Amino acid sequence: MTSGVLVLVRHGESEYNAEGRWTGITDVPLTAKGRADARRIGTALRDLAVTRIYVSQLKRTVQTKDGILEVIGAAGVQVRKTAALNERDYGDYTGLDKWGVKRRVGDEEFATIRRAFDAVIPGGESLRDVFERVVPWYREIVVPLLAAGENVLIVAHGNSARALRKYLESVGDEDMKDLEMDFDKICLYRVDAAGAMVEAQVRRF
């Protein structure tokens, strides 16, 4: 039996994104560009009958969902919030200017902080920590819906999306440094019984 479609997107540009600051769990809103991009995501998904949407507890994913629903319509769509999808907690780096940190710690350490799977953030989370909360939630809640033929949209953050993609796409720990989740990227998957990718498609808007 063919599964439903899993759609994974990142929220639109937030105020901290625009300022080049580490956002983490700070609850900042979208910019005007971010709200417009949410509507563009909706336009790119008009051909897909989404039945469920999951967002984090942070307003930038909620506002992105709102923009998508403006375009595709909310009739028959169930929406749920979950802490499992929250952005990585950047601890002591939260709110800091990313490029100022890069100048201070150097290119290699900066890349490690941002992208390495096991990088330890003082007072915060590693990407592994995010993976260990996102994947069990996905397997318990989302996979059965996909198996039942539902089309599920997840509006996540840069790191919660990367953590889920690691599982879906069987990405190795060392290769995570090269895995990005851009704002304009829409990932669509059909999955097997364990929730791992069988087919994938990428759309850009």
Positions annotated as catalytic residues are 11, 87
**Chain position carrying tokens 């993609």:** 165
Length of the chain: 205
Instruction: Give the separation between CA 62 and CA 151, rounded to whole angstroms.
Output: 18
> Is-contact 101 114, C-beta < 8 A?
no
DSSP-H helix ranges across 73-139? 98-105, 107-115, 127-137
Q: Which residues lie closer than 8 Å to 59 by C-beta, 6 or more apart?
A: 27, 28, 29, 30
Among 65, 44, 55, residue whose Cα is nearest residue 188: 44
Angle between helices 59-72 and 32-44 (to 10 degrees): 50
Instruction: Give the separation between CA 137 and CA 8, rounded to whole angstroms.
Output: 15
Q: Which residues lie closer than 8 Å to 16 by C-beta, 6 or more apart?
A: 22, 23, 26, 28, 95
